Structure 1
Amino acid sequence: MRGLLLGTALTVVPAAAALAQQAAITAEELTEHVKVLASDEFEGRKPGTPGEQKSLDYITGQFRALGLEPAVGDSYLQRVPLVEVTGLSQSPLTVKGPGGEKSYDFFTQMITVSRRPEPEQALTDSEVVFVGYGIVAPEYGWNDYAGLDVRGKTVVVLVNDPGFATQDPSLFNGNAMTWYGRWPYKYEEAERQGAAGVLIVHETRAAGYPWAVVTNSWRVPKLDLVPPDGGRSRPTIQGWVQQDVAREMFSLAGQDFDALAKAAAQRGFKPVPLKLTASAAVTNKVRTFDSYNIIGKLTGSKRPDEVVLISAHWDHLGRGPAMDGDDIYNGAMDNATGVAGLIELAEAFAKGERPERTIAFLSYTAEEQGLLGSEYYAKNPVFPPARTVGGFNMDMLNPFGPMRDIVVTGAGKSELEDRLARWAEGNNKIVKPEPFPERGLYYRSDHFPLAKIGVPMMFAGSGVDSIEHGEEWGRAQYNEFTRLRYHTPHDEWVPGMDLTGAVDDLRMVYDLSRDLANGTDWPSWYKGSEFRAVREKSLKEGR
C-alpha cells in the first residue's frame, strides 16, 4: 500500500519546535508580501522591465535579511539569457481553397506570432494539413504525423489530447490532460516535424481557459531562451485560431471540421491534407537581455551536499492590453502568493533548528513565458540533480480560505505522495483527485522541468471544498477566477483576499520539506512514471 511505504520516515504530528515555526507563517505577513509584489509599482513583474529589478531587489532583500546564503557563488542571482520578440504588426491570416478565400483578423479571430528572433517572417501560400492532435507518442501507440512530410507546410492541430475528447480512461490519461495535450508540446512537435506554420484550434473546455487568456498572453511581447541555432528550426509562424474560424476554414476545403475532429480522437486516424493554402506575415522588434532566477539556501548541518528544493516563480505578464482602463497585469494570485509563501517558509526554516540536508529556495523567472527560468535551471543546475533529493513547487496559493481537501496536481507520480497522504491523515485533511484534471496543470508550472531531469517534485495545495461554504462554492470561486481574472489586470490584491487557507498549505509544505530535509531516504518515482528512468540513470551516474 503506497500510503504505508514511508510511514516510519514521516513525522505525522510535528514536534513542538516545528509547531512553533509553523506558527511563524501567518496570513497577515503573507498579505503584506502579496500587497507589495502585486502593487502597481511593480508593473506586473515582467522580466526585462523595471518591475523585474523591483522584484529582484525585494526578494533578495528578504532572503538576505533572513540570513539565507547566496547559492550562486556569492550571489542570489542565476543569470538567464533571454530574447524578446515584440510583434509590431501582423497581417490577416488569409486562407484560400476550393470554396473561396477568407481573411481573419488578429486578436478577435486568430493570433499569429513568430518566435524566430528576426525582424520579418512570412508564410506565403503554405499548404495546410490537419494533423489531429499533432501527437507522436510511441508509448500510447499514437502518431498523428505517420507517413507525412510537413516541411514547408502549415499544420492545424487540436488542443488537449484524445483522452479528454473521448473521456475514455484507457486512452492517454482519460479526462486528465497529458503533456501531449499542452500547447508547448504541439509547437515543439511541429518544429521537430519541420512544419513552416502551426495553428492550434482553441476551445475553452479543452484548453482549460477562455480565448481572452490566449489573446492576453500572446499579443504582448514574448520571451524565450536564446535559441542555440538562432531559431531557424522553429516554425515561421505559429498561433491560435478560434474554433468557429477553423470550422469556416475547413468548409472552404469542402470538409466538416466537427467530423474530422471526432475522427482525430480515434486510433488509426490519418492526417488529412486540406485543399487550402495559408498566408500570414509579422514584423518584429527583437532584443536580448539577461533575466535572473533567485536562489538562496540554508546549508544542511549533516549532509550539506544533499538538497531539498522549494520553489515559486516571481514573474507575471507586466503591462498589456487595457481592460476597464487598467493595463497592469499585477499577478496577485499568480504568483505573488507563491513568492510570499516562499519568503514565509524561508523565514520559518531560518528561525528554527538547521535541517540536516540543505534546503534551497528558488524563485524562477519567465514562468509565464513557458517555464523558461526553470527550464534554464534544469539545463544549468546549481545543485546536481543526482544530489537533489526532491522538492515542492508553489504556484497560485489558495486565496479563498481554509479547505477540507488537498489536491495533488498530476497525482500518481512519486513517493512524495505517500508522505502527503500520511500528513493529511494526521492533520484532518482529505487528499482528493484534481478538480480540473483536463487543464493539464502539472505541465504548466516550474516543477515540470525539474521532473523531466528526474528530480521528484510535488505540486499540491488546497482543493475546492471550503470548510465554511462547501465544495460547490469553492469550485465556483476557482472557475470565476479562471474566467474573469486569470491572466488579466483583474488578478490583483483586494481586501477580501483570505489567505488563511494558504497558511494551511504552507504549513503542509513546511512539514513535508522539513521531514525530507532531516531524513536519509530518497523518494522515488512510482513504477510506470515517465520520469523514473531518467532519475535512475541520474542517480547511477551521479553516485
Structure 2
Amino acid sequence: MRGAFLMATALLAGCAAPGPRSAPVPRDRAAVEAALMRHIEILASDEFGGRQPGTAGEAKTLRYLAREWQAAGLESGTNDPANPWFAPVELSLTVPDRSEARFYRGGRPVALPDGAATVFTSSSRGLVERAPVVFVSGAATQPERAELAGRVVITPMDHARVAEQREALVRAGAAAVLTVVEGDRERAGLTAQRRRGGYRLAGSENPGALDGYLSPAGFAALIGGDRARELLAADSPAVTRLDLAASLEATASASTVRTYNLIARLPGRRPAAGAVLLLAHWDHFGTCAEEPAPDLVCNGAVDNASGLAVLTELARRIAAGPRLERDVYFLATTAEEWGLLGAQAFAENPPVPLNTIVAAFNLDTVAVAPAGSPVAIVGKGLTPLDPGIAQVLKQAGRREGDERMAQGYVRRQDGWALIQRDVPAVAISSAFAQAGPLDRYMTEHYHQASDEAAGIELGGAAEDMVLHIALVRHFSDPARWPASAGKSPPAP
C-alpha cells in the first residue's frame, strides 16, 4: 500500500496543468448519464476488486479519483504538506477465529439447531458465563441500565433503528446482543460479512461487547415457537426476562490497516467566508463470496461508485463554471461500510474548522430512481439548511417525496458523523424518496455481488447531479446564505 500511494503521489505531481475548462452543465441528460457511467464502469470493475480498505483496490480507486479531480482543476485539500491529497486513517482490523454459544434452562443445556447462533467479538476475546437472558423489542430504544447490565439481550432485526438500538443496548451495559434475523439468506450474508473481519478507528474505545445473530428456529428452540413469534411481533418497549442463561465466547485476531480519505479543494474568492463540503464514501466489501459462487466480488456499483461518479462530475462541472465565493471541499471517505469511520476521522482532524463548514451534502447510493423522480432530504429537520434547500428545489422544479422513509437512513450514512458534531449535513437524493425502486435495490443487490454497473439506473442520479450544482452555488454565496444562517435553527 505504501508503494501504491507513493506511486499515486508521483503521478499527481507529474500531471500537466489542466487544459481548457469544459462547457457548462449540458442540458441533455443523456450526456450526463454517459459521463456518470464512465466513472461507474471503472470504479465498479473487477480490476478494482470491490474497493476494500487496505487493498490494492483502494490504491487504484484513490489514484483514479485524485487524477480526475486534479484534471478538473481541484487542488489538495488536506492542508497538510506531509500528506497532500491523501489523509491517513489508521484502522484496527479484527478477524474472527472461533465462537461458541450455549444456553441453559434450570441449569440444563438447551439444544439448538446447527448453525442457529453465531457470535462475534470486537476484541481479542469476549466471554460471558451463565448470564441471564432477556428479550428487548424493537420499540425499546432507550432501555434502563438496571434491566440490562450483565445480561445477554435477544432482539429482532426487522425494524429501522436496529443499529441505533444495538448501540443503546451496549451503552446500557448488555454483556452481549443477539439479533434474530428472519431470512436464511440475509443471516448467511451478515454472518459471512462479519467473518471477513470488522474495522474500527485505531485507538478508539473498544468495549469488546459480544454480538451476533440467532435464527428464528434457534429462538423457537429456546422458548417455544408460539412464545417466540409473540415476542418478535410485540411493539411494547418492555424488557422481557426469559427463563434462560447463556454462555458465549468468541475470539479474534487483530491487526492494523492504514487507509486514506481523499480530500480536495476548489478555492473560492473568499475562503474566510466559510466552506461547502461535498462527500461520498469510496469503500465497499472487496471479495464477498466464496467458491463455488460464480461471482466473488462485491463491486458496489450503486453503493457507492454512483456517489463517487456524481461527486467527480460535480468537481469537473463546478470548476468549469464561474468562480464561487466560498471554498468547496470534496471528500471521498474510507470505511463507511464499517461504521462511518472515514467520516469520523475527517471530523476529528478536519482540514478546516468544522464550524466554518456552512453546508455539507453527502452522495450515497444515488443510482436507483428513474428520471422524473422526486427527491428526499435525509436529515431534514436536523439542520438549519431546510429553508435554503427548499428555495433551490423550487427554483429547480424538483418536488419532495416520502420523507418518512428517508429519515430511516439518517444514521446509516456519512452525514451522521458530521451532524453529531454540529456540522449541517444532509443527503438530498431521488434514491430515498420512494419505496419501490429502493426496495428492489435493497432486496436484489444491496451488499451483494450483483451490485454491478450493467443495467444500472442513472436517470435520477443525473438529475440529482444537476440539482447539486445549484445547491453548491446557492450555499457557497454568502449573499444568499450568510454564515450566520447555519448557526441556529430556522424560525418556526
- Which position in structure 1 is the counterpart of 2:228? 257
Letter in 1 for 2:275: V
- Between the aligned partners of 2:375 and 2:323, the Cα distance in structure 1 is 28
Matches of 1:223 and 1:463 in 2, distance apart?
Answer: 27
Residue 422 of structure 1, CA deviation: 2.8
Task: State the distance in 2 between where 1:524 and 1:257 align.
Answer: 48
Whole-Å Cα distance in 2 between the matches of residues 366 and 56 of structure 1? Answer: 13
The equivalent of 2:267 in structure 1 is 299
In structure 2, the partner of 1:506 is 465
- Structure 1 pair 457/260, CA: closer, same or farther in 2 (3 Å)? same
**Structure 1 gaps, min length 5:** 1-16, 137-142, 162-176, 466-473, 530-543
Tell me the secondary structure at the aligned position of residue 236 of structure 2.
Answer: coil
Residues 320, 314 of structure 1: alpha-carbon distance in 2 compared, 3 angstrom cutoff: same
How far did 1:364 drift?
Answer: 0.5
Q: Which residue of 1 aligns with 2:194?
A: 218
After TM superposition, give the deviation of residue 222 of structure 1 in Å.
1.1
Distance in 2 (alpha carbons) for counterparts of 1:344 and 1:23: 14
Q: Which of 109, 121, 124 is the equivalent residue of 1:114?
A: 121
Cα shift at 1:296: 0.2
2:32 aligned residue (26, 29, 46) = 26
CA contact (8 A) 2:121 2:250 kept: yes
Asked whether the equivalents of residues 98 and 251 of structure 2 are also in contact (C-alpha less than 8 Å), the reply is yes
Residues of 1 paired with 2:110 and 2:420: CA distance?
44
* Aligned counterpart for 2:94 among listed residues 57, 81, 85: 85
- State the shift of 1:484 in Å: 1.6
Q: CA deviation at 1:78?
A: 1.4
Matches of 2:156 and 2:143, distance apart in 1: 11
Give 2:218's aligned residue: 245
Q: Deviations over 1:254-293 (max 9, x none)?
A: x923444555x336x2x33322122333332221121111
Distance 1:514 1:243 in 2: 51
Paired position in structure 2 for 1:517: 476
Q: What CA deviation, in whole Å up to 9, does each residue of 1:434-481 have, x standing for no partner?
A: 47358x21111100110111111121111589xxxxxxxx85443222
- Count of residue pairs the alignment pairs up: 460
Q: Which residue of 1 aligns with 2:169?
A: 190
- Structure-2 separation of matches of 1:527 and 1:450: 16
Q: How does 1:80-479 map to 2 (within 5 A)?
A: 80-91=89-100, 93-98=101-106, 101-106=110-115, 109-116=116-123, 118=124, 120-133=125-138, 135=140, 143-145=142-144, 147-148=146-147, 150-151=149-150, 153-159=151-157, 177=160, 181-183=161-163, 185-203=164-182, 210-211=186-187, 213-229=189-205, 231=206, 233-235=207-209, 237-251=210-224, 256-261=227-232, 265-266=235-236, 269=238, 271-304=239-272, 306-322=274-290, 324-434=293-403, 436-437=405-406, 440-462=408-430, 475-479=435-439
Check whether the contact 2:140–2:236 (CA below 8 A) recurs between aligned residues. Answer: no
Q: Which amino acid in the other structure matches residue 114 of structure 1?
A: T
Identity of aligned residues (%): 27
CA distance in 1, matches of 2:128, 2:404: 41
Give 1:65's match in structure 2, choosing from 49, 65, 71.
71
**For residue 448 of structure 2, what is the aligned residue in structure 1?**
488
Query: In the TM superposition, what whole-angstrom CA distance separates every residue of 1:398-453 from its partner, at most 9, and x where no partner exists?
Result: 24530331122243333433333333333332212247358x21111100110111
Structure 1 ranges of 4+ moved more than 6 A: none
Contact 1:403-1:464 at 8 Å conserved across structures: no
Whole-Å Cα distance in 1 between the matches of residues 298 and 66 of structure 2? Answer: 22
For structure 2, the 5+ residue unaligned runs are: 1-20
Cα distance in 1 for residues equivalent to 2:432 and 2:266: 34
Using the TM superposition, give the Cα deviation of residue 505 of structure 1 relative to its aligned residue in structure 2, in angstroms. Answer: 0.2
Q: Which secondary structure does the structure 1 equivalent of 2:94 belong to?
A: strand
Alpha-carbon separation, structure 2, partners of 1:507 and 1:375: 28
Aligned to 1:3: none
520-529 vs 308-317, which moves further:
520-529
Q: CA deviation at 1:527?
A: 5.2
Is the aligned partner of 1:38 residue 2:17? no
Contact 1:400 1:497 in 2 (8 A): no
Give the AA of the match of 2:190. V
Identify the residue that residue 471 of structure 1 maps to in structure 2.
Answer: none
Provide closer, same or farther for how the CA distance between residues 481 and 187 of structure 1 changes in structure 2, counting only shifts above 3 A: same
Alignment RMSD (CA, Å): 3.0
Distance 1:84 1:102, change over 3 A: same
CA displacement, residues 313-349 of structure 1 (integer Å, 9 cap, x when unaligned)? 0000111223842110000000000011111001112
Q: CA deviation at 1:212?
A: 5.2
CA drift at 1:79: 1.2
User: Using the alignment, how far apart are the partners of 1:476 and 1:228 within structure 2?
Assistant: 39
